Amino acid sequence: MRLLPNANPVVLTLAALAVALLLFADFASVQANRIVPGRGLGLFAALGPAWALGLLGALLTVAGLALQPSPARYRGMLALILLLLLQWPASLAWFIHQHIGAEQPYARAGLAGASWSLLFLGLLLLVEVRQRVAAPWWRLGPLGLLLVAAWLIQAGELAPLALLREYASRSAAFWQALRGHLGLVGGTLGLSLLLGMALTALIVRLPRLQRPVFGVLNFFQTIPSLALFGLLLAPLSYLAAHSPLLQSLNVRGIGWAPALLALVAYSLLPVVRNTWVALQEVAAEVLESARGMGMSRWQVFSQVRLPLALPVILEGLRITSIQAIGLTAVAALIGAQGFGTFIFQGLGQGAMDLVLLGALPTIGLALLADGLFSGLADYLRPGVRR
């Protein structure tokens, strides 16, 4: 029998894990320059006793409130978690102020396991607690985190961070990679939506084609991404060599063309499947009522069937966008522009901060796409209060 049957085990586990990592893992590191190895520092050595005890005290208080939670205690937990998130960039600025002086122009501050874990576990705690209490102000946490980090970066307080050092030396390439990444993802979404709608209309009109169409689309999903990229190299190289039009479009065996074709091939299944399921799930009574009102076939589709199916269709686009954002990074191996360029350069040089320069924006784009499509789908879903 549990001694505290009302305790929240998720909050307790996350808080305990955060405390353990802060106590036993390095919080940050200092490098004299990019070449020499960094020197790891624990929480107390990195931030000093006062700041360290404040962090640990906040986490232990969250755990204590989770032993016998109530709506008021959940609000208290939420407030403490928001403070933990807001102080995260400030703690990095304090660490830099304490350990990197003006006489060290090439020194770098690196984020170690405990600092990343504090951010990650803090966000998980936020997700868990906000589901337990009605407090719309929880959104101030992620937004405030971004605003505080942006202000400290603008003020130059975080300039010695190794990640920002890498960005400063590659800022032009970073924005070019962003444009290339967004271009490939946007092209993938547009082509997948057009082809997906056409294939869905085909199998709706000709149901006997449903099995072969889904069979082909499922087959594409079974091919590893690198293998599919490789399979496209030879035919595209041949076509480009014999077609002046393709040459004028800069279509080659490597670059954007094989990447776009492969991404569209992977993206068609979630688009077609969700669109087909969404259209099929519209109640027959609703369609019959629309026809009884004198609507034409096009009016029934455009004014009744498509609006009711749109939330599920957007879920397919959400899956497609997240998948395309991740695979576009892999497409850097065949010369496609995107953040994967930094990831693979960093892996080749053993520079993890360069890897993060590509990985973190990729994750950010995926989270942004997930939030946008999920929010739009919820807004368009019938019966949802706005």
Q: What is the CATH number of the domain that holds 359?
A: 1.10.3720.10
Is 176 found in the same domain as 123? Answer: no
C-alpha to C-alpha distance for 282 and 359, rounded to whole angstroms? 40
Is 183 found in the same domain as 47? Answer: no
pLDDT in tens, 29-49: 888 877 777 788 999 999 999
pLDDT at residue 23 is higher than 90: yes
Which three-class secondary structure state does DSSP give residue 382?
A: coil
Query: Using the 8-state DSSP alphabet, how is residue 384 labeled?
Result: -
pLDDT at residue 4, as a whole number: 65
Of the residues 112, 130, 165, the one at which a domain ends? 165
Of the residues 140, 165, 190, the one at which a domain ends? 165
In a domain, 2, yes or no: no
Is 339 found in the same domain as 198? Answer: yes
pLDDT at residue 105 is higher than 80: no
In a domain, 149, yes or no: yes
Is 371 found in the same domain as 305? Answer: yes
Is 233 found in the same domain as 132? Answer: no
Antiparallel, parallel or unpaired: β 108-111 and 28-31 = antiparallel
**CB of 259 closer than 8 Å to CB of 184:** yes
Is 206 found in the same domain as 106? Answer: no
Cα first-last separation, the chain: 43
In a domain, 386, yes or no: no
Tokens of 146: 């971004």
pLDDT at residue 24, as a whole number: 93
Q: What is the dihedral sign for C-alpha 184, 320, 142, 50?
A: negative
Residue in 272, 369, 263, 271 with CA at minimum distance from that of residue 317: 271
C-alpha to C-alpha distance for 286 and 271, rounded to whole angstroms? 24
In a domain, 94, yes or no: yes
pLDDT in tens, 178-207: 999 999 999 999 999 899 888 988 888 888
In a domain, 385, yes or no: no
In the chain, how many domains are there? 2
**CB of 8 closer than 8 Å to CB of 131:** no
Q: What domain range is 365 assigned to?
A: 171-380
Is 222 found in the same domain as 160? Answer: no
Q: What is the DSSP string of 291-345?
A: HHTT--HHHHIIIIIHHHHHHHHHHHHHHHHHHHHHHHHHGGGGT--STHHHHHH
- Cα three-residue angle 353-354-359, rounded to 5 degrees: 90
pLDDT in tens, 301-348: 767 777 777 888 888 888 889 989 988 888 888 888 889 899 998 888
Among residues of the chain, what percentage have pLDDT more than 90?
Answer: 22
- Cα three-residue angle 310-383-297, rounded to 5 degrees: 45
In a domain, 4, yes or no: no
Which three-class secondary structure state does DSSP give residue 108?
A: strand
C-alpha R_g of the chain: 26
pLDDT at residue 383, as a whole number: 56
Is 368 found in the same domain as 255? Answer: yes
C-alpha to C-alpha distance for 83 and 60, rounded to whole angstroms? 14
Which three-class secondary structure state does DSSP give residue 279?
A: helix
Task: Count the residues in the chain.
Answer: 386
In a domain, 288, yes or no: yes
Is 20 found in the same domain as 65? Answer: yes
In a domain, 245, yes or no: yes
Of the residues 165, 181, 213, the one at which a domain ends? 165
Query: Using the 8-state DSSP alphabet, how is residue 138 labeled?
Result: G
Cβ neighbours, 10 Å, residue 231: 14
C-alpha to C-alpha distance for 45 and 98, rounded to whole angstroms? 10
Is 352 found in the same domain as 234? Answer: yes
Is 112 found in the same domain as 158? Answer: yes
Give all strands of the β-sheet with 39-41 in edge-to-edge order: 39-41, 28-31, 108-111
Beta bridge partners of 29: 40, 110
Is 216 found in the same domain as 133? Answer: no
C-alpha to C-alpha distance for 73 and 85, rounded to whole angstroms? 18
pLDDT at residue 386 is higher than 50: no
